[in-house]
Amino acid sequence: MSGSGSRRPRLPVSLGESRQLFLRVVSILAFGLLVGIIGAVLAIVVVDSIFWLGDRLSAVTAGGAGPLNVVLLLCPVAGGLVVGLMMRGMSIRRAARVADIIYGVQTRETGIPWRDGVLNTVATVIGIGSGASVGHYSPLANMGAALGTNLGRGFRYDPVLGIGCGVAAAISTAFSAPIAAVLFAHEVILRHYSLRAFAPITVASSTGFFIEHHLLARPPLFEVHVERSVFAPEFLAFVITGLACALVAVAFMHLLLTSADLAERSRLPAWLRPAVAGLGVGLMAQWVPEVLGLGKDVLSGIIGGGETAPWHLGLILLAKMLATSLCIGFGFAGGVFSPSLLIGVLAGALLGHASGAVLGEMASDPALYAVCGMAAVASAVIGGPLTAVLIVFELTRNYELTIAVMISVVFANVVAYHLFGRSLYDRQLARSGFDLSLGRDRLMLQRTTVADHVTDDAVTVKSDQSLADARDGMIAAGHQECHVLDELSRYHGRLHLFDLLRLEKDADPAVEAAGAHANEGHLRIRPDQAVWDALEMVQESGAQSIPVVDRGGYFIGVVYESTLVAAYFRAISNTRAEEHAA
């Protein structure tokens, strides 16, 4: 039958397209599962090793804090010496940071050697186990990034997506927060959302959570139990909590940067600096032992409803900020996320006591304010407000508490952004010349050199040739500019066709030398300079082309405005394609 009713419905995709789609789904599942499984196992080993060493430290230093506790003083020093020597084996000669992962993703310079990942992780375990006031979140992220990028290359998978998968798997396993881990990978690391990245990262994060929570039935890193309902007047208090915690976060981040500057200005060799920081931590621990390590017990005690005097909370807060800044600034391997959680808990608990004094019985337990402070400070430090809110929700399953946390987080990030910037990581990158606030397309152009766009399609004359020679050359080539060189081919200046035609009214072009009328102050650029610099020069001068010269001033060629504009639109197109890829 030839009627329309006998026709088979056309498939939305061809057989070949169906096969490609099937292979795409299989590759997403396979790669996400592989990274998730390995990342989960590694994260569990790292976390358990840290806690095991922490227990050994507590056993060795048992007897209480005091001025004669020599073991408590020397353990961080010894750990610092070991860490400092291990950092000499890193390719970057220092501890890896989350900022390094972000840099690699944004520039697609994703080469994270296995050696660096292993050394940095082991150094973190030793450092925290010996009492260093650092966190394990950054090393977990770097370990996951090294895993993802190397597996990605091995399986011919995009290393950037591999980094996102590895980071999400490690964070999901460590914090029992798979949704927050997925969001963290996009919000903090990738800085964009695309289905192409979302799918494998979700698989890796979910796999890590399944292994940690269901297969091994491990308890979360810390638990939050806040049952009491929130009273309406308290929402203003949560706003105030966010504003105050923003100031705490900004002060903490400035301390971290100042400590790093002091370490650089000191004459101490890099391998010895962690030991010096360990000495400082050991001294502080004589009177405030809570500064040692992750501070998990202190954090759990406060958000679990434990009673701590306000003056003691304030003392621990100041000591923890100083100890962490000293350790991170002077080269201990570790991160700032876990310390910022504790700092936020301490600040929030203090504000909770103040709220109780003002609101009386209408005020919630200080533990609720501690949770708000925890999320507010941590989110401002890492630049991940949505991640922080979701971590709290996944740990508490408390919708009302999450709303309170969200209010504090929003105001904390608004204030911190205006006083400091988006995050500590962004400031660290900006200090090294990589400003993410400028936009990814501009950053790509700042990473691309003019050398890739130089052409010799330009009109040139020697300085002793006549204006007529310059004019005839421009007319023959269809150009409006002529570049004048000296007898050694060093750049001398530029002649514009319109300027030359005006000169012919008062001078004989066959007699006048081109060098006598060239614009010697004309701009020029070196081949190793950025395309973005060339674009700015063209915009300011209105020139058709820019001469490219080497450091000796010798003429190499030119780069045209049209070429630079094409490179700009190509960078925008590539960025948009990555952000919207499926």
* pLDDT above 70 for 225: no
Contact present, 116 and 316 (Cβ < 8 Å): no
Which amino acid makes up residue 233?
P
CA distance linking residue 273 with residue 271, whole number of Å: 6
How far apart, in whole angstroms, are the C-alpha atoms of residue 350 and residue 310? 6
Domain-located, residue 486: yes
522 shares a domain with 400:
no
Q: Are residues 85 and 182 in the same domain?
A: yes
pLDDT on residue 1: 44
Residue 578 has pLDDT above 70, yes or no: no
How does pLDDT run across 83-93, given as a tens digit for each residue? 999 988 887 77
Q: Based on the domain organization, do 330 and 370 belong to the same domain?
A: yes
Q: How far is CA 281 from CA 76, 77, 80, 133, 322, in A?
A: 7, 9, 10, 7, 9
The reply to whether 123 and 84 lie within a common domain is yes
CA distance 252 to 235: 25
pLDDT for 444 beyond 80: no
Confidence of residue 273 (pLDDT cuts 50, 70, 90): very high
Residue 229 confidence class, pLDDT cut points 50, 70, 90: low
Looking at 40-54, 271-285, 359-373, which range is the least confident one? 359-373
Q: If you search the block for the tokens 């600040």, which residue do you land on?
A: 347
Same domain, 116 and 257: no
Say whether both 451 and 402 belong to one domain: no
Give the Cα-Cα-Cα angle 416, 418, 423 (nearest 5 degrees).
Answer: 50
pTM score? 0.82
Longest dimension (CA), the chain: 100
CATH code, domain carrying 367:
1.10.3080.10
Coil, helix or strand at residue 496 = strand
What digits encode the pLDDT tens for the residues 312-352? 999 999 999 999 999 999 999 888 998 999 999 999 999 98
| 484 shares a domain with 401 | no
Q: What is the pLDDT of residue 263?
A: 92
427 and 301: one domain? yes
Q: Which residue has the higher pLDDT, 177 or 509?
A: 177
280 lies in some domain: no
Rounded distance, CA 457 to CA 305, Å?
Answer: 75
Q: Is residue 14 part of a domain?
A: no
Same domain for 310 and 257, yes or no, is yes
Identity of residue 98: V
For tokens 């396993």, what's the residue?
Answer: 173
Cβ burial of 106 (10 Å; 0-12, 13-18, 19+) is buried
On whether residue 72 sits in a domain, the answer given is yes
Most confident region among 187-191, 242-246, 285-289 by mean pLDDT: 242-246
- What domain range is 57 assigned to? 20-215
Is there a domain that residue 57 lies in?
yes
* Domain annotation covers residue 567: yes
pLDDT digits (tens, 9 = 90+) for 366-400: 888 999 999 999 999 999 999 999 988 888 878 88
Residue 130 has pLDDT above 80, yes or no: yes
Alpha-carbon gap, residue 367 to 349, rounded angstroms: 6
* Domain count within the chain: 3
Pairing label, strands 481-485, 555-560: unpaired
Q: Are residue 182 and residue 78 in the same domain, yes or no?
A: yes
| CA-to-CA dists, residue 177 to 149, 170, 395, angstroms | 22, 10, 7
> How far apart are the C-alpha atoms of 273 and 87, rounded to whole Å?
11
Q: Is 422 helix (H, G, I), strand (E, B) or coil?
A: coil
Same domain? 327 vs 204:
no
185 to 38, 144, 145, 201, 205: CA distances (angstroms): 17, 11, 10, 8, 10
Which residues have C-beta within 8 Å of that of residue 108, sequence separation ≥ 6? 159, 160
Residue 479's nearest CA partner among 505, 500, 457 is 457
* 347 is a domain residue: yes
Secondary structure letter of residue 61 according to DSSP:
T
pLDDT tens digits, one per residue of 432-441: 878 777 777 7
Compute the distance between CA of residue 62 and CA of residue 58 in angstroms, rounded to an integer: 6
Whether 167 and 308 map to the same domain: the answer is: no
Residue 279 lies in a domain: no
> What would the pLDDT profile of 494-535 be if each residue is shown by its tens digit?
888 887 878 777 777 777 888 887 876 667 888 888 888 888
